[in-house]
Amino acid sequence: MPGGLVAEVHTRGARLHGLWVPDRDGSPADIVLAPRDPARTATTARYFGATVGRYANRIAHGRFSLDAKPYQLTTQEDGHCLHGGADGFDTRLWEAESVHTPERTGVLLHLRSPDGDQGFPGNLDVTVSFLVGRDGELALTYTAVSDAATPVNLTNHAYFNLDGEGAGDVLGHELAVHASHYTPVDDDLIPQGDHRPVSGTAFDLRRPLGIADALARPGADEGYDHNFVLDPCGDGALRPAAVLYAPATGRRMEVLTTEPGLQVYTAGRFDGTVLGKSGRPYGRGAGIALETQHFPDSPNRPGDPSPVLRPGEEYGSRTVLRFSTSG
């Protein structure tokens, strides 16, 4: 695609499998982590690059009530519902159609999630698009409609390394997050108490900071796997969420979104058991996930923005990855 970006999207899991981006010298590299063995996407690399839902992130104990009716979702090993449950959207084969315009090219993917899927109410029809532009952007747009009230929270779970997939860890990258509050969590990564100011904590990333330096702060020992409450913007407008920069290659990725939150995960639990596309193992910090989203467990937290989609409404979410180089 003119503009330098090339994306590879797979229909299994509506998965961003690769994204080639030029460095400051114009040399492209694939910056998205994915397993060398495709079978790993069913196990230890399950969420790599996938579209996750019906509800991204965690719902405590897989339980919530909606309109005074209780619901029990499927749960995973820790007893909570993660990324839509035991058989989430990442496991499904989506229907695809290509899109070509003078300015953008890409793919639309469609999925029907039936009433009762993983315990969620309502028949849900979902569309996600991946569109590469001449302007150095990858735009991800999600829409959904339902015939019954249901929580919906869709995101993409790509891991990025701006030096290139398999090039080592991202500890030398610099990260800024446009958030003055974050969500504290318990040992199961379930939200605990109110959102807290980032000021004076390990979660203050309002100015660019090397990831190694950020993780050396007290309170970040295990790395980040937390929701950041993005600073407000106009209703429905794209808001700046994060900027990731790799000094070694000059690649810079700006994340903009219509979503209220950003889950930052620095791959602290990677242990080298997954071999990447390059054949190199993915160890701790091999990539970073920047998941635009509603807040975790918000069906059980009435003070958070509501994730409930009702009949006659349309769920809409948009995230833009904007690439440039510097240095």
Q: Within a 10 A sphere around the Cβ of 250, how many other Cβ atoms?
A: 16
- What pairs with residue 215 in β-bridges? none
Tokens of 75: 């749960």
Nearest to 150 by CA among 170, 174, 122, 129: 122
In the DSSP assignment, the letter for residue 194 is: S
* Tally of residues, the chain: 327
**N-term to C-term CA, the chain:** 24
- Residue 291 annotated to the active site: yes
> Closest Cα to residue 128, out of 258, 315, 326?
315
Catalytic site includes residue 157: yes
> Using an 8 Å Cβ cutoff, are 316 and 258 in contact?
yes
Q: Which of 174, 195, 291, 294 does the annotation list as catalytic?
A: 291
**Which position among 10, 17, 157, 178 bears the catalytic label?**
157
Residue 268 three-state SS: coil
CA 70 to chain centre: 28
Strand partners, 138: 132, 321
Q: How far is CA 168 from CA 221, 254, 265, 318, in A?
A: 20, 21, 16, 30
Q: Report how far apart, in Å, the C-alpha atoms of 210 and of each of 174, 205, 285, 324 are.
A: 4, 10, 13, 19
Known catalytic residues are 157, 291
